[in-house]
A and B are shown apart, each in its own frame.
Chain A
Amino acid sequence: GESVGLHLPTLSVQEGDNSIINCAYSNSASDYFIWYKQESGKGPQFIIDIRSNMDKRQGQRVTVLLNKTVKHLSLQIAATQPGDSAVYFCAERNTGFQKLVFGTGTRLLVSP
């Protein structure tokens, strides 16, 4: 069946640390992946995406890694800040369909 899961429901880090949020997906036909950040009372906010023909993609302070062999996705946040505190979701999509399948989410708590 379709499922996208996360290993850690809550991740607590200190300000300035690097954070790594992991995600496992099960649909080998998925070829597009997105990370979203959701703050309380808001809709998911796009962070970064990656296509299946890539292994790594970097943005501003964020890096997404994709390992298709083990169907694993990770989001790395460098120099984590208190403003990064939120719930992070990974989502997968099968080309040809607009349906996103979301993981359960990881709550990131950043302490000053």
Chain B
Amino acid sequence: KAGVTQTPRYLIKTRGQQVTLSCSPISGHRSVSWYQQTPGQGLQFLFEYFSETQRNKGNFPGRFSGRQFSNSRSEMNVSTLELGDSALYLCASSAGGLNAETQYFGPGTRLLVL
């Protein structure tokens, strides 16, 4: 099976702009989670989508949003970009059950905000 894919891999934006990142989960996986990774804060949970519904949400401002499509692909959007949004954005997919199960990560999208 193909792994989790993310596009684009690299992105440069300026403050105030908005950005949309895309994630395609492993075939058959219905849950997609998004994480932000920065040197200062480490890996932090943004949100999780399952069956086109946001099921869990982390402690990020409303500028961070996401959605999931019927084919389980997911997008996340960041509006009104700030310098502090520069980070590696990772998505992870899993089958979607609420019992313990592994999340598999994509390579990430590196966002630089100037």
Contact = CB atoms under 8 A, between A and B. Distances in A.
The range of chain B's interface size is 20 to 34
Nearest to A105: B42
Contacts of A97: 56, 98
Interface in A66-103: 89, 91, 93, 95-103
Contact of A98 (B90, B94, B107): B94
Contact of B42 (A42, A93, A96, A102): A102
Contacts of B48: 98-99
Interface residues of A, number: 26
Interface of A: 31-32, 34, 36, 41-46, 49, 51, 89, 91, 93, 95-105
Given A44-B90, A103-B42, 12 more contacts: A34-B102, A42-B107, A43-B90, A43-B105, A44-B105, A89-B43, A93-B100, A97-B98, A98-B31, A99-B56, A100-B35, A100-B92
Interface of B: 4, 31, 33, 35, 42-45, 48, 50, 55-56, 58, 90, 92, 94, 98-108
